[in-house]
Structure 1
């Protein structure tokens, strides 16, 4: 009998006695990569293409999250706990359920496909995690760990509660006394310096008539090189309401909402994480309530004329819009990422007034259930600077010890998450460096602000090439490059705005996330080995370059509201309109 040995980490194989006929089933990309390093790929079972599998898993996770909420809606206790102070918490819960299921859905689908391909085989799972055991369809035999696990789970809501109270106390001590102003401020919720850069021009225009307050989501400093600075800065939770701790405790801890999955008619519940509903009740709902209390306190203390958020996908933006609606504060939600092919970007993400990149995003959201009246096309503010920059190509390249005479490819890197696995990233970078090296083209890498994985360093160590890594000035580097290459980053949008030829290096079978290839604004080599030929054509074939340029200009018009550099101005006009209307 064939044994299928399933595992998440190759280290789990160290103490497992493999037999001659065993087939190895790594459950994630990192484990597959480690098998290659160990020379055990020949023992690996035939796996489906992970790219399409991941895309299908995202869809399944989102549909399952919706089914769970529908099942909970039939339970009186869950209906009560999913409504806090008359705020509907279901839109927030939908996304957190999805986030909790996306990785599990991939493991489930992978295990089911492999086991179906080997009927009659024995499945052996080396993971102890009960979430993984359920996902692959095996019973959890870890009875000895049941009690410690339950104790940890029961302590979690109390620890979460204490952490939230402590953070509010610290924020309250650090807050600045801005209540004395007679002019209602515009409050913007930002979580990092690069978001401040995106919004700086719009905020500067609004600052002519309204004080701008930065209610920061994390502890960070406003970039010192920006010409605009907010009138006030404080933590988003600096104004807690009296009695909020007791209200949250009563709502969450006194609820009778059950957390056993078996008690609900949920399709396919056998593969769901065993503590999914526990986490929703004691962690997520407690967090939503904490956000609502803090935002209500902020609304009462500052009486803002408007608040602006870039968190359209996550719970915070939805809580902000809900509180704003109750207190008569218009919410301007600014699109900051791709919508297109991601199934979990739906009408539920359109809260307040949604400032969309272009007509394409607007139509997609309307088709997915959004209210058309809530969506206004302003264009992506992040691209306004592209038209004004005049970088010195020779100086920038010489500073990085590159030859200004030779062609340069900018590789816009991405963090490893969701559809971008370490193997996908590794293959893309290797193909680019090998292809560029074949024809003597230089490469420079621009990292993503959230990138923290070791793939870049690991791959660069394999090549005897000088490849600088830069962390700032994306647009300057884009403008001085001859080609922009990436896996699937929205920098393809920037390349279209800057009218630079674009390569996408993605061969895992993932869907064309934003329609780059379909729209003709980026070229995908037929195989990694043909990347050098693709680079050569984009550099030397004028007909290829002209065809892509025409497609880029059409794309910019439909998807990015045109290439006029006035998105920030349109966003400011929309913000002033919302303030005047008070809705």
Structure 2
């Protein structure tokens, strides 16, 4: 890089290729900002985001700030900015877009969304185990979906195979009211959904922000990943138990869960609606510190 940039902004410093990029930048004394991209998974200190020599970390909320401190990030370099991607959430879950999407995907029927993510890439399960989980969930949901006249929409992450997932679901769930999609916009889908299921993804946080009841599907040998269930903000779904009863109890909700969701959002989402401004101000501070501006 000639001349070198004043600042490099990256989504993390622990996953490939960003771990290699941080080494390159460190060797050349080029400053960089880590802009938190997703939920954090607890691992040994020094092995994940927060272990590098970043000039600063822009994190979503107080919970993330605590996590990065545990990972070894310098406390004075951690800035709670919120997430710019959440700033637009309220505008994109509007009734017009949500209704149009529901009409397209389910002929206007109530939607139960399964928001998948590459848990196989994250090492929780193998690819075949993940496909089996999705297949079993669709199959177990069939009686409830038919009885309630609901439709399940399985939204895939960009790294997941539409063909493989469609084949897995279709092979065991003929006649089940389910659609598998990959390019469906997330926020209108949340606006059209009565509930959202996930495995281990930041879309769970977005569902809570959108006011959509959240449930986490138990993973073999790992239980309920992340802290959605342990915090009380989400229900836990076990595929080895009657699904209809679990879903009915989950969607009925409770005052205690509503309070837990409020506490969870307070800890995990800061500066809602103005996070982009917070990040821009931080970039300005890093590229034009006071001692430079005074010259």
* Pair member with larger Rg: 1
User: Per residue, is there more helix in 1 or in 2?
Assistant: 1
Task: Give the corresponding residue for 1:319.
Answer: 23
User: CA distance change for structure 1 residues 572 and 430 in 2, over 3 Å: closer, same or farther?
Assistant: same
1:469 paired residue number? 180
Matched, 1:433 2:141: no
Other-structure match for 2:240: 528
Contact 1:505–1:525, Cα closer than 8 Å, also in 2: yes
2:204 pairs with one of 492, 499, 502? 492
Distance change in 2, residues 1:425/1:549 (3 Å): farther
Q: Could you say which residue in structure 1 is the equivalent of 2:126?
A: 421
CA RMSD of aligned residues (A): 2.5
Whole-angstrom CA distance in 1 between matches of 2:99 and 2:90 = 19
**Is 1:514 aligned to residue 219 of structure 2?**
no
**Equivalent of residue 573 in structure 1, options 274, 281, 295:** 281
Compared CA separation, residues 466 and 574, structure 1 to 2 (3 A) = same
User: Match of 2:33?
Assistant: 332
Q: Which runs of 5+ in 1 are unaligned?
A: 1-297
Contact (CA 8 Å) 1:306, 1:330: kept in 2 or not?
Answer: yes
The list of structure 1 runs, each at least 4 consecutive aligned residues, that deviate by more than 3 angstroms after superposition, is: 526-529
Deviations 1:98-153 (A, max 9, x none): xxxxxxxxxxxxxxxxxxxxxxxxxxxxxxxxxxxxxxxxxxxxxxxxxxxxxxxx
Give the Å deviation of 1:530.
2.3
Indicate which of 373, 396, 401 corresponds to 2:101. 396
Q: Which residue of 2 aligns with 1:67?
A: none
Q: 1:346 to 1:333 in 2, by over 3 A?
A: closer
Shift of 1:575: 0.7
Cα shift at 1:504: 1.2
Aligned to 1:460: 170
1:309–1:317: 8 Å Cα contact kept in structure 2? Answer: no
User: Partner residue of 1:307?
Assistant: 8
Distance 2:159 2:35 in 1: 19
Matched, 1:372 2:75: yes
Equivalent residue, structure 2, for 1:449: 158
Q: How many residues align?
A: 275
Unaligned runs of 5+ in 2: none
Provide the TM-score with structure 1 as the length reference.
Answer: 0.44
Choose from 406, 409, 413 the match for 2:112.
409
Structure 2 CA distance, aligned partners of 1:350 and 1:515?
27
The answer to which structure, 1 or 2, has the higher relative contact order (CA under 8 A, 6+ apart) is 2
When normalised by structure 2's length, the TM-score is: 0.83
DSSP-derived class of the 2:34 partner: strand
Could you report, residue by residue, the CA deviation over 1:280-337 in whole angstroms, capped at 9, with x for unpaired residues? xxxxxxxxxxxxxxxxxx2x23x5333212242132441354256x3xx542111113
**Quick one: distance in 1 between partners of 2:19 and 2:253?**
47
Q: Alpha-carbon deviation of 1:511?
A: 5.2
